[in-house]
Structure 1
């Protein structure tokens, strides 16, 4: 491998990407070539104890790693911008992972635009989602003989129902989301009221509700891993 030649090629690719508003040409075979060069340099070690050689190599490695990663970041930003504006991209000039990114984003945006007019979030009314109603066990008991026993029986039934509701709520999965625009209040599948929410608010809500909000571009998941 001609390291100097590969370095110059990578530098020219980086400079072109930096200076151009649109994507520079980077097909799959060229991307794999740069990737192989980057991985080779990143794993290369100087066995010589010469401090100067090691210092030069580290500088060389830092430059190559920076250029390779920066090329990918710049291209990702350009592709996302093109997808958001539904601008066509020459698919022959990008590598495979970029094709998937662009195609998936365009498909998602077009799908969202189709259902946008039907979105249930376009008004400020309180939102209601399908409810999961607790199913308390039927308690068979004889009719109480006096009012005191009747009150005690009603209290016991309330406690039974409360316990059953708590069990149902524990079985519901929750997700933490960040709201990316103002959202009216809603009733979750756990029968609790949530919101209203402002942009950048964070909330822990039932997964089913979170999934709808994320799909409609009102919120995004927060990864805690």
Structure 2
């Protein structure tokens, strides 16, 4: 009997292209504190980290009260924009790949994201994908990536062994998190980190069309 496998997805930059939403929210947070807005590549470079960690990387040495205000300002702006298909569209082929994997009897799907639980739920509801993911790990309940806590929790909730799990993401934080948890890792190049930052992944792909087959290959070792 084939053992169950678990396929864990990152969200921003992997399933959805939310960069315009993220950039606008980050700009609002910085402007409210009278700070220069970081360039877009710098903002995208911290996507995947939990929000307080991401802002602290963009604005080092901020006192705690200002950092807390910026985190709250970002969150308020993010939800004022409303999570919608135009603001955070699925990448081409994402739905088909998710549905293909979810249809396999031996496959469970999960999520590990630096988003808040509220943000994650909004994305899944908007795109009607929630029913496919049996475990959902968010920044509300875990240390920031690349700490392995989210992946370890997903393994624990599903009962899947690390050797039968794959972490899929577009950033080095996703790859480092998966490796730290002892699972295989699949980098995707359509997101926010350049391909060279994904070099530690077990495999790297350029389109969702090749994702199901890549997951199968990784499962085979």
Same fold (TM over 0.5): no
User: Which one has a larger percent helix, Structure 1 or Structure 2?
Assistant: 1
The higher radius of gyration belongs to 1
Q: Which has the higher contact order (CA 8 A, sep 6+)?
A: 2
